[in-house]
Structure 1
Amino acid sequence: MVGLEADLNKEDECDNIGLGCALEHFSEVEDVMNMIDNLKNIYDTPQLEVDYDKLYSILKQYYEQPHLLDPHLDKILSKFIALIKDKESPTGLKHATFNYMYQIIRVRGYKVVVRHLPHEVSDLLTVLTFLEAQDPMDKETWRSRLVLLLWLSIVVIIPFHMSRLDGFAPDQPGTAESCKKLTVMERIFNMCKLYACSKDSCAEASAYLASKFLTRRSDVKEVYLGAFFNWACDLHSNLKDQDTIHYGVLAAVAAVLKHGKRDDLLPYTPKLLQWVTDQNYKHHSAMLVRKYGVKIVQRIGLTFLRPRVASFRYTQGSRSLAVTLGGVAAAGDTEPVAAPPDDDDQDIPQEVEEVVELLLCSLRDDDTVVRWSAAKGVGRIGARLPALAAADVCEIVLTLFAENERETAWHGGCMALAELARRGLLSPMQLSGAARCVVAALARDEARTAGGAGGRAARDAACHAAWAFARAYDAAALAPHATALANALIATACFDREINCRRAASAAYQENVGRHGMFPHGIDVLTTADFHSVGPRNNAYLVIAPQIASFPEYTRPLVDHVVDLKIEHWDYAIRELAAQALNKLTDKIPEYVATEVLPKLVTKTGSIDLNVRHGAILGIGEAILALSKTKLSDGKMADSLISEEIWQSVRELVGRLRVRQQFRGLGGELMRQACCRCIARLSQSIMNILK
C-alpha cells in the first residue's frame, strides 16, 4: 500500500542469495541526523540530490530489518517536524523535508511511522492547512502530500468533537461570511474525496485517512459515512469510460469497510454490493481495480455475517514439540473436535452467496495479489458460515484443481486451501482430497508462456498449503497423507527449478516434522535438506538428493520424480542436471534402474517431443555409466541386470534417430549433442557394449 515496498527485483534464475538480516543496529543514525541538520544549507542547491541519494543508499540496507530504526524514530522525526513547523522555513525546505520523511516511511512502513508523529489537537489545523495549500497536480511534490495525508490520519482520531475547532456555528443565525465557511470536518472530508481521485500514491494514503476519519466518533459517522459511500457509488456509476475508474476511491471504500463497526456499516452494504456487481470490477483490465474490488466484496460479506468462532471447525490437538518427540502432553492441549453440522441455525443472507461466488471466481484472476486477496476472503467468510455452507465452499475450491484449469486457478486454489486449513474449516474427510490436490500441484511444471510462469506460483502456494496443514491438524488426521506429502515436498526441495520453491518446500517439510513427526526420518532429512543447503541448484540435485535417497522410503520416489518429470523438463539446464542426478541415485536402487527405468528411457527416445528425447538420451548414458560402477549384493556388476533387448535398443539408438531424420532441423543440434554425450558416458563404462 502507498507504494512503499522495496523496488529491488531479483533475477528468476539467480541462486546466489546474499546474507540477509545480518545488521545489529542502525549504525548510520548520526550520519542521517547530520544530513537532516544540513538540509537548511542545501535544500536549494544541487547538493540536495546527492544527499538524497546517499540517504536512500543508507536506508535501503534496512529493508529486511526495518525494526532497527525504531529506537531512533522519535529523534529523527522530531527534527523533521521542527523544520516543517518553523514559520520561517521556506517552501522549498519543507518539500525537501517531506522527501526525506518519505524515505523513512518507505523503509519502516507508514503504520509504524504514523504512530510516532505528533498528534495533539493543535496539530490538526496545522496539518490540514499545509495539505490544503498543496497543488494536487504538481508531480514534483507528491511525497509532501503523501506524508501530510498519513500525518493527518493519526491527528483526526483525537477524542474531541471537531466542531470545537471551528470557532463558529454555521447552523445558527449569523453573518453571511460565517455561513460560507467550511467546518473542519467538511474540509477533511473534501481532502479525502480530492485525493481519492488522484492518480499517484496519494490515492492509497487518502484511503488510509478516510478509514480513520469516517469511522471515528459519531460526530463524523452519522454525517459523512453514508455521504461518502453515496459519493463513491455515484462517481463510478456515472462514468462512461471504465478506464477512468479511480482505484483510490475503491481503496478508500475497502479501508472504511475494514475499520468500521459492523452495526454502522450494515445499512450500506446492500447498496455497495449492488454497486460492485453492476460495475463488474472483476473483469476490469487494471489490476488495482480488481484487487480493491475483491477487498470490497469480501468485507461486504463479512459485514453480512456476524463475527463468531465456528463450532464445527477442526480443533488442533497438541502444539507442543515435546509431544511430537515423544514427551508428555503439554498443559492446555485439547483433543481434535468436529461438531455435528446441525449445531448452527444462523440465518445466512441471500447476498452472501453472491459474495462467495465473486470470490471464488477471483481465485482464477491473472494477478497474484487479486488471487491472494480472494483466498483470504474465502477463508474469513468460511469461518463465519454454518457447517454445511462452509463444506460446500471447500468442495468448490477443490474443483479448481482440474487438469484443464490454468495455473492461476491452481495457485488460487492452493492459497484458498491454506486459508481454509489454518482456520480448521477442512474436515478430516476433505483433508484427503486437499492433500491429493497439493501433491498434484507440487508436480505441476509446464513450459513458461507469455501468460504464465509454468506452474511456479502453484508449486510455491502448494508448499504454503502443506505448511498450513501441519499447523492446523494433528498426527492422527495427517497420518494417511504423511508419506505422500513427505515424498512430494522432499522431491520439490531437491529438484525444483526455482530457488523459492525449493526453500518453501524445505520450510513446509520442517513445519511438518516439528508439528506431528509423521515424516520418515524427518529430523535426519531436515538437517540435510535445510533452507540454506537447497538454495544452490547444483548442490540440491547432486549432493542433497543422493544423501536423502539413502533412506529407503525416499529412494524410489526421488528416482521416479527425476525420470517422469525432470528428465523431460522444458528447461535444457534442468534436463542435464536431472540426468546427472540419476547417475548419483542409481547406486541406491540399481535393480529398479536397470529393469524399470532404462526401458522407460529407451521408450522415450521415440517421442515426438524434442525435450523428452533429449533428456532420455542423456539419462540413458548416465544410468548405464552408474550401473557399470555398482556392485550387487552377490558381487556381480549391476550392468548384468540390463536385458539384451535394452542393449540392442541402445546400440541402434543413433541409427534410429538418423533414419527418422532427427539430426536435422531446429532440434538436430540438440540431438547430436545428446548422442555425443551419451556415447561418451558409454565409453567410460567398463563393459564392452559391442559384444
Structure 2
Amino acid sequence: MDTNIPCEVNPDQKILNNIGLVCASNAFREKDEILNMINNLGTVYNDPVKSENSYECFWKVLTIYQEQPKVLDQHLDEILDKLTDYVRSEKFEVKLKSEACKYLYVVMKVRRYKVIVKRLPHEVTDLPLILELLQSPQFGDEDWQARHVLLLWLSIVILLPFPMAHFEGQDVVQDPLVERILALVKKYLMTNNLYNVAAFLASQFVMRSDIKDIHLKLFLDWAREIIIDTETNESQKAYSMSAIASILKHAKREDILPHIGLLTEPKVLSSFQDSTSSLFRKYGMKALQRIGLTFLKPQIPTWRYQRGCRSLMVNMNAAGDLTNSIISSQSPLTNGRKESHIVTEMPKDQEQNDIEVPEEIEDILHNLLTGLNDTDTIIRWSAAKGIGRITERLPQAMANEVVGMVLEVFNSREQFNAWHGGCLALAQLGNRGLLLPSRLKDVVPVILKALLFDEVKCYASVGDHIRDAACYVCWSLARAFDKNVVQPYVKTIASQLLIVAVFDREVHCRRAASAAFQENVGRQGSFPHGIDIVNKADYLAVGVRSNAFLKVSKFVGQFEEYTLPLINHLVEKKVGHWDPELRVLASKALNNLTEYAPQYMAKTVVVQLLEFTSNMDLNIRSGAVRALAEVIYALSVHFKKSNLSLIDALGVDIIKEIEGLYSKFSDRRQFRGMGGDIMKEVCCHLIKNCSQASLPFHGHTIIVSWVRLVEDCLGNELVPVRDAAVSAVNSLFTEYFKSDPPQYPEYFKVDPALGNIAKRYAEKLQSNSQVLRSGFAMALGNLPNFMLINHLQLVISSLTQCTVITPSTAKWTDSRRDALAAIRIVCSAANVCETSPDYLEKLFNCFLTALQDYTITTRGDVGALVRMEAVTCLHFLTVEVALKAPSFLEPLLVQRIIGNIIQQAGDKIDRVRAHAGLILAKLIHNEPKIPHIPFHGWIEKVFPNKDCKEINWNGIAETFPRLIQLLLCPPYTDHLLLGFILNIGGITETNVKVASSCFFEYLRISCTPLNQDIIASRILHTFQSYQHNDRVTQPMLNFLDHLLSSGCFVPFKENLGSNFPTELFKLLKVESRKCQEMNKLMALVRVYCHYIPLSMYPEVSGSALTELSRYLCHRFLFVRKNAATNMYETLLMYGDQSLIPENNLSEVLAILGDTEWDKEVGILRPIRNRLCQMMGVPPPVVAKTNT
C-alpha cells in the first residue's frame, strides 16, 4: 500500500467484498492493513484529504467486525499500543494525538469500551498527561472523539491503588488534583455527546476509598441540586441523573446506603416522572431501580422456580428417552450444581424471616409499574428490568403481589403501552424464575391475548410492539419452565405462535414468533410437529409476507392440530382487517387451507362469512365477500375430485343466499358512495369464482345483474375495479352463456342487448373516455372464442383503430396499451394465422406504428408502456406466423421488425431496454428460425444463446458493448444510431458515460474513414428527420457536442472533402430559428463553438462566429453569459486556428472576458458590433417588424 495515502483509491472495493463473510471468519484478515494505516498516521495527519481518507478506510475495515468483535482480541494489544504511543509521547503534536484518539474511538466502538478500557495502559505518569490533554485549548468541538477516549482512559488510570496525594505535582499554582478531576467530570457531564462517559468516570472516581468519604456526598448533593432546580433545562437534569444512576450501579451497597436519603426525597423521585425529556425519564427509571436494590440485601430467593438442566441435547434426543431426572448433580451440563426440577415453594413458616422490606420499596415499585405505561419503549424496558431485579430480593408473599400488580396492567382500561410494558415485565420475571407454575394459569391467557393485540387507530393500527413483546414472553417461558409444567398450555401457545408467525402483518412480529416457536421446540421438545415446522417456518421463510401467508401457512395447516386455529383466526381477525392487502392474502390463504378441512369450511366458515356480508363495517363486509369467493372456488375444486355436488355440500339455502348477495347489496345501496367501488371490486371477484365453480345459476336473472355490474365496472376510474371486472368476463360468459347468442332466453326478457356483446363492446372503443376504451378493450380480449368468431373483423378493426394516435387521444397511452394487449389475446384465441391471414399485414403495421409512440406527459415518457406492449405483440405474432404461415414473413417486413426491436433495445429507459433485449434474444434464437433476418449469423455471434440467458438486460454496460457491433449493419444503422444519440445526449449520467465510451471507442478502433463518412451521413439524416422535435433534437445537440469534442470523428476536421460540416451547419441554423428553449440554446452555442477552429471551411466558420455574436445580445441573460464564456474558452485554446486576424485576437479575448454581459442589450449591442468588426465578420442585423 502507498505509504503516503493509505487506502487512497477506492477504499470500498475490498471491504464490500468482505461483507457477509465475516460471520464465518475466525481471523482478522485486515490486520496488516490496519497496522499500516496506524504507522502512516504521523505522515498524513497534516493533510486534510489524506487524513480523512485514511480515517474513513480505518473505520470501514473495522466496522465489518462489529458483529463478531472477538476476532480482534488477539490483535488488540498491538493496535492499542501503537495508538497510545502517539498519545503518550511528548514529541508529537496535539493534533496528531487527537487523530490517534479518533482511531481509538473506532476500536472502542467496535469492541466495546468495557473491553478496551481494561487493556489501555494505566501508569502513574499517564494521569497528568490525560488531564493536560483534556484541558488543552487546542482541542476544539470537532475533537469530541478524542475527549471521549481520554475520559474513558482516565476512568481506568484513577483506579491505581495509590492515594491521590501521590499524583500531585510540584506546581502550586494549579488546583488540587482531585478538584481538577471533579471539575472535568462536571464540565463534560453537561456536554451532549460526552455525558455518558463522564458519568462512568464519576462513578469510578468518587467511589475510590480515599475520595468517597468526602466527595461522594458532595457530588450527590451537586447532582441533586441540578435535578430539583426549576431553572435547569431538561437535558442537564438528564445528564445529572445519568451520573447518579451510574454511581448507584457501580457503588457498593454499604457505601451508598448512608446517602440514600438524599435521593429518595419526593421532589427528586417525582422530578423525572412528568418530564417531557425521554432521556431524563430513562435515567430516572434506572436510578430508581438501583435505589430499590440498595434498600434490599442481595440474595437468591429460596422460593423461586429452578428448572435446573436446560440442555438442548436432552430435550431434542427423544429417541433416547432422556429426561431431566436422569442427569446427576455432577453432570457437566449443570456445572456441578444440584438443582431441583420442580418448584421449591417454601411454606410460609420456613420463609426467611430476616428479609426486611423498607417502606420506600412500595413507592419505588409503584413508580416502576407506572413506568411500564411510559410512551417510550426504552423506559418501559428499564422499568421492566427494575421490577424483575427488585422482585428477586423480596419474600415470596410480596413477590406474588408484584406479579399480581403486573398482571393488572393487562386490562381494557389501560393504554396499549401498558400492555407492552407488562409483557416485558413478565418476561423479566420468567427469566429470573419469579413466575411460579401456579401463576401460569393467569399468565398464559394474558399472553395469548397479547399475541393477537391489534387496535385500529385512524388509518393505521397499534399493537405490533405488543405482539413482539408477547413473543418474547413465550421465548422466555420456554427457557424458564420444565416441559411438564408447560404441557397443559402447549397446544394453545403453539397455535398462537404459529398464527403470528404466518399471519401477522409486520415482519418483525412474524420473525419474533418464529424464533419463539423454535425456542419452545428446542427447550420443551413437546410442540406437535415442531421440527418439521421449524425447518419450514424459519427466519427467511416468514420474512416475506406473501410467502408466509400462502406457502408457510399451507404447510403448517396440513397438521390437524393447527388447521382449525389457522382457519378461525383468518375468519375472525384477518378477513375484515383494515389493510386491504391483508384481506386479499387472507382470502387466498383460506383457499389454500380448504383442502385440509372441507367439511368445516362448507358447514361453518361459509355460514360465518355470509353473516359477515351483512356487517355495516366496509372492511368486514368486503373482506367476507372476497373470502367467500375463494372458499367457494376451493370447495368446488375439492368436491369435483370426489365427484360430489357443491349443492349437496353447501345446501340449497346457502346457494340461494349466495345468489341473493348482489340484490342485498344493491337494495342497501352499498354499491354507492366511498365504499361502493370496493364492493364492486369484490363482487366481480365473487362473480368470477362462482362462475368457475359452476354454481347452478344458469338461466337465472341474477346473471343479467352480474353482467350489468361487470360492464359498469369496466368503465370505472379505479384500475383495481376494472381489472377485477376484466378477470370476471371470460368465466362469466363461458359458464352462463355457452354460445352467442346465449342459450337461455330468460336473459333476453330482462335485457335484449345481451345477444350482441362483442358488437356492443367494440362500439365502446370509440368512446370519448380513456377509461371506457381501456376497460372494454381488455374485456374484448377476454371474451370467450365463441363470442369473437362471428365478429372477428369488427373486433380487430375496432382494436387497431383504438391504437391510432389522434389530437384528442394523444395522451391516452393506457387505452392504446390495453388495446394492443387485447389484440394479442384475441389473435391467440381466434388463431388468426390460420383462420384470418388477411389481417396479418394490418396487425404488423399496427404493432410497428405503436413502436413509435413516444408520448410524454407530466408523468414522463408514458409512451414506453405502449412500446413495451408493442414489442410483446410483435414477438407473439412473428413467432406464430413463422410457425404457421412463414411465407408471409417477407425480407422487408422482417427487417422492419428486427430493426425496430433493436431500436427499443437501445432505449434510454431501463425497463424498455431490458424487455426489448429479451424479445430480441428470443427472436434470433427462435425455433423454427425466423426467415430473412438481416445479418442473422452476425447477430447470433454478438448475442450467443448461452450468453443471452445470463445477460443483465437492465444493465446498459452489458448490452451497449454488444449492440454497437451492429452499428455498421445497414438495416440497423439508423435504429441503433438513434438509440446512441438519445443516450449520449441524455441527462442520465450512467447512460451518457457508458454509451459515450462504447460509441467513441468504436469510432477510434473499428471504423475506417469510409465507415465514419457513412455514420456522418446517417447522423445528418436522423437530424433532418427529427427537425424541431425536441425529444430528439435536444439530445442530438448534446450528442454533437460530445462527438465533436472527442477528436475521433474524421469527417468534421480531418477529411477536407467532406460536406458534413456544411450540411450540419445548415441544419443547426434551421433548428435555431425561433428557438426559445434555454437548454437547447446553450447546446447550440456549444456546437457552434466547434466551428471556430475550422478555418479550412471559411464560409461556415465565419457564419458560426456571426451566429455566436447574435447570442451575445440574446434577450436571455444566461444565454449571453454562456455564449461569451464558451467563445472565450474556445478562442483561448484554438484562436490561432480561427479566421480572426492574429493581431486582433488578444483584444477580442479581452472584450469577451471583461465585458459584463448581464447588462441591458441596448448597452451591449455596440460592444458586440465592434467585436464582430475585429473578428472580421458582419454583425447580425436586427430584424425589422412591419408596423
> Is this a same-fold pair by TM over 0.5?
yes
Q: CA deviation at 1:161?
A: 1.6
Aligned to 2:279: 288
Which piece of structure 1 moves more, 272-281 or 299-308? 272-281
Q: CA deviation at 1:87?
A: 2.5
Determine if the alignment matches structure 1 residue 40 to structure 2 residue 37.
Answer: no
Task: Check whether the contact 1:239–1:245 (CA below 8 A) recurs between aligned residues.
Answer: no
Relative distance call for 1:555 and 1:70 in structure 2 (3 A) is same
Q: How far apart are the structure 2 equivalents of 1:67 and 1:468?
A: 27
Q: How far apart are the structure 2 equivalents of 1:378 and 1:456?
A: 23
Q: CA deviation at 1:318?
A: 4.3
Q: How far apart are the structure 1 equivalents of 2:649 and 2:385?
A: 54
1:515 aligned residue (501, 510, 523): 523
Q: CA deviation at 1:477?
A: 1.7
Task: Check whether the contact 2:227–2:241 (CA below 8 A) recurs between aligned residues.
Answer: no
Q: How far apart are the structure 2 equivalents of 1:384 and 1:84?
A: 46
Q: CA deviation at 1:277?
A: 4.2
Q: Which has the higher contact order (CA 8 A, sep 6+)?
A: 1
- Map 1:343-492 → 2, pairs under 5 A: 343-345=351-353, 346-447=355-456, 454-492=462-500
Determine if the alignment matches structure 1 residue 125 to structure 2 residue 128.
Answer: yes
1:536 aligned residue (531, 544, 547): 544
Aligned letter for 1:497?
R
Q: CA deviation at 1:642?
A: 1.5
For residues 634-663 of structure 1, give each alpha carbon's deviation from its aligned partner in whole angstroms, at most 9, with x where no partner exists.
Answer: 752566321333323322323333333333
Aligned letter for 1:139?
D
Task: Check whether the contact 2:235–2:280 (CA below 8 A) recurs between aligned residues.
Answer: no
Q: How far apart are the structure 2 equivalents of 1:69 and 1:20?
A: 12
Relative distance call for 1:341 and 1:366 in structure 2 (3 A) is farther
Task: Check whether the contact 2:647–2:655 (CA below 8 A) recurs between aligned residues.
Answer: no
Aligned to 1:162: 164
For residues 504-557 of structure 1, give each alpha carbon's deviation from its aligned partner in whole angstroms, at most 9, with x where no partner exists.
Answer: 112211222222223222222222223332222222111111111111111100
Aligned letter for 1:584?
N
Relative distance call for 1:54 and 1:684 in structure 2 (3 A) is farther
Relative distance call for 1:680 and 1:237 in structure 2 (3 A) is same
RMSD value, Cα: 2.4
Q: CA deviation at 1:270?
A: 2.2
Aligned to 2:182: 189
Q: Secondary structure at the match of 1:189?
A: helix
1:668 aligned residue (676, 679, 684): 676
TM-score (norm 1): 0.90
Aligned letter for 2:93?
P
Relative distance call for 1:272 and 1:638 in structure 2 (3 A) is farther
Q: Secondary structure at the match of 1:120?
A: coil
Which piece of structure 1 moves more, 614-623 or 650-659? 650-659
Aligned to 2:53: 50
- Map 1:174-213 → 2, pairs under 5 A: 178=172, 181-198=174-191, 200-213=192-205
Q: How far apart are the structure 2 equivalents of 1:639 and 1:121?
A: 93
Q: How far apart are the structure 2 equivalents of 1:287 and 1:506?
A: 32
Q: How far apart are the structure 2 equivalents of 1:20 and 1:593?
A: 50
2:327 aligned residue (313, 324, 330): 330
Which piece of structure 1 moves more, 150-159 or 62-71? 62-71
Which piece of structure 1 moves more, 536-545 or 249-258? 536-545
- Map 1:487-506 → 2, pairs under 5 A: 487-506=495-514
Aligned to 2:88: 85
Q: Where does the alignment leave 5 or more consecutive residues of structure 2 unmatched?
A: 1-18, 330-338, 701-1187
TM-score (norm 2): 0.54
Q: How far apart are the structure 1 equivalents of 2:27 and 2:688?
A: 56
Fraction of identical pairs, as percent: 40
For residues 314-363 of structure 1, give each alpha carbon's deviation from its aligned partner in whole angstroms, at most 9, with x where no partner exists.
Answer: 22154244553321522225231211244132221010101000000000
Q: How many residues align?
A: 662
Aligned to 1:110: 113
Q: How far apart are the structure 2 equivalents of 1:369 and 1:244?
A: 17
Relative distance call for 1:233 and 1:558 in structure 2 (3 A) is same
Q: CA deviation at 1:567?
A: 1.6
For residues 413-464 of structure 1, give each alpha carbon's deviation from its aligned partner in whole angstroms, at most 9, with x where no partner exists.
Answer: 00100111121212222111111111100011233669x9621111111111
Structure showing greater radius of gyration is 2
Aligned letter for 1:607?
N
Task: Check whether the contact 1:489–1:508 (CA below 8 A) recurs between aligned residues.
Answer: yes
Q: How far apart are the structure 1 equivalents of 2:49 and 2:21?
A: 35
Relative distance call for 1:628 and 1:276 in structure 2 (3 A) is farther
Which piece of structure 1 moves more, 574-583 or 513-522? 513-522
Q: CA deviation at 1:126?
A: 1.3
Q: Secondary structure at the match of 1:447?
A: strand
Which piece of structure 1 moves more, 279-288 or 268-277? 268-277
Aligned letter for 1:207?
A
Q: How far apart are the structure 2 equivalents of 1:553 and 1:361?
A: 40
Task: Check whether the contact 1:579–1:618 (CA below 8 A) recurs between aligned residues.
Answer: yes
Q: How far apart are the structure 1 equivalents of 2:233 and 2:479?
A: 43
Aligned to 2:65: 62
Q: How far apart are the structure 2 equivalents of 1:534 and 1:158?
A: 53
Q: How far apart are the structure 2 equivalents of 1:531 and 1:463?
A: 14
Aligned to 2:571: 563
Which piece of structure 1 moves more, 66-75 or 439-448? 66-75
1:144 aligned residue (135, 146, 163): 146
Q: CA deviation at 1:41?
A: 3.0
Which piece of structure 1 moves more, 588-597 or 401-410? 401-410
Relative distance call for 1:301 and 1:33 in structure 2 (3 A) is same
Q: CA deviation at 1:402?
A: 0.8
Q: Secondary structure at the match of 2:578?
A: coil
For residues 539-584 of structure 1, give each alpha carbon's deviation from its aligned partner in whole angstroms, at most 9, with x where no partner exists.
Answer: 2111111111111111100111111112222222222111111111
Aligned to 1:642: 650
1:302 aligned residue (276, 293, 301): 293
Relative distance call for 1:102 and 1:552 in structure 2 (3 A) is same
Aligned letter for 2:188?
Y
Which piece of structure 1 moves more, 70-79 or 540-549? 70-79
For residues 479-514 of structure 1, give each alpha carbon's deviation from its aligned partner in whole angstroms, at most 9, with x where no partner exists.
Answer: 221111111111111111222211211221122222
Relative distance call for 1:657 and 1:86 in structure 2 (3 A) is farther
Relative distance call for 1:637 and 1:184 in structure 2 (3 A) is farther
Task: Check whether the contact 1:276–1:297 (CA below 8 A) recurs between aligned residues.
Answer: no
1:606 aligned residue (600, 614, 635): 614
Task: Check whether the contact 1:254–1:295 (CA below 8 A) recurs between aligned residues.
Answer: yes
Aligned letter for 1:208?
F
Which piece of structure 1 moves more, 512-521 or 388-397? 512-521
Q: Where does the alignment leave 5 or more consecutive residues of structure 1 unmatched?
A: 1-16, 169-176
